[in-house]
Amino acid sequence: MRSILRGAVVAIGLGVATPALMAPIATGQARAAEVWQTLPAPAPAPKGATTGMAPVNGIQMYYAVYGKGRPVILLHGGLSNSDYWNSLVPELVARNFQVIVADSRGHGRSTRSAQPYSYDLMSSDVLALLDYLKVPKADLVGWSDGGIIGLDIAIHQPERLNRLYAYGANSDLTGLKPDFDKSPTFAAFIERAGTEYQKLSKTPDQYDAFLQQVSQMWSTQPDFTADQLRGITVRTAIADGEYEEAIKRGHTDYMARTIPGAELHILPNVSHFGLLQNPEEFNRVVLEFLTEK
């Protein structure tokens, strides 16, 4: 979700139904070939979490830690929250990873401040959380905005990352498809995100103000240059779904081609929401990337 979403997300915040939001979305009756048109709910929360609120950069950042072993942090997409990783967490724990999930500032259970949003700021939040948890270096799996945050850290603080898996991310605004928010699947996600915000946030009545802050960032960012991508030394996979609604396929190819040694993963028959639509396949490719020699 980026600047093109501004009209749709603000409409949700004001309770106005746009044509895109009224469009139907495929349900469980959809044929397997149409799974990319569905929006399954996140899986139930895994057991065994140690949770807390970390004081970082003037906010309280929600986190949960599962298991023991090699640390990996999972970063969700814009408007969502860490519950979207519930299917991947137990798979990683079973492979001897210490899994850290977090809600980005203003998202989910985390608070926000008046400070303008930027990917640099959100990257700083993540690194401050890792410092708080005494994790000097970690793998990072990011979806959408989470993937962009991962790219920002890989560019500016590569010593903090072992590997980066970025799904559904873009490096600049030219990578976005026009009017992608009119997709029924995206419209349904935006509507769900508003409901989740009211349920989880400590300021459930401030959704409009939150959207305004985030939208200001999306109107100009990210803006990574080709030289910055070429300078990435972290082992990286650039991934997306075959039916991605928001990111141009050529842009995904460009990022994978420009980042030295990057792998390109295009998951079949899923979209921007592949982690929900086919979690078994999504989890498999993430685990393969994180564990391959």
Q: How does pLDDT run across 89-102, given as a tens digit for each residue?
A: 999 999 999 999 99
Is 201 within the bounds of a domain? yes
Asked, for residue 24, whether it belongs to a domain, the answer is: no
Whether the predicted pLDDT of 201 surpasses 80: yes
User: What pLDDT, on the 0 to 100 scale, is given for residue 14?
Assistant: 28
Number of domains in the chain: 1
Mean pLDDT, rounded, for 232-248: 98
Under the banding of pLDDT at 50, 70 and 90, the label for residue 103 is very high
Cα(first)–Cα(last) distance of the chain, in Å? 33
Q: Residue 188 maps to which CATH number?
A: 3.40.50.1820
99 and 67 in contact (C-beta within 8 Å)?
yes
Residue 73 has which token pair?
A: 């942090």
The pair phi, psi for residue 56, each rounded to 5°, is -135, 130
Is residue 263 in a domain?
yes
pLDDT in tens, 128-177: 999 999 999 999 999 999 999 999 999 999 999 999 999 999 999 999 99
Strands 138-143, 235-241: pairing kind: unpaired
The answer to the question of residue 27 being in a domain is no
Residue 2 reports pLDDT greater than 50:
no
Q: List, in sequence order, every beta strand (DSSP E) within the chain.
A: 50-56, 59-66, 70-75, 97-102, 138-143, 161-167, 235-241, 263-267
pLDDT of 275 higher than 90: yes
- The range of the structural domain enclosing residue 258 comes to 3-18+34-291
Of 291 and 11, more confident = 291
Q: How far apart are CA 209 and CA 217, in angstroms?
A: 13
Q: What's the average model confidence in pLDDT over 221-244?
A: 98
Residue 182 has what pLDDT? 86
Q: Is residue 284 part of a domain?
A: yes
Domain membership of residue 142 (yes or no) is yes
Q: Is residue 242 part of a domain?
A: yes
Domain annotation covers residue 25:
no
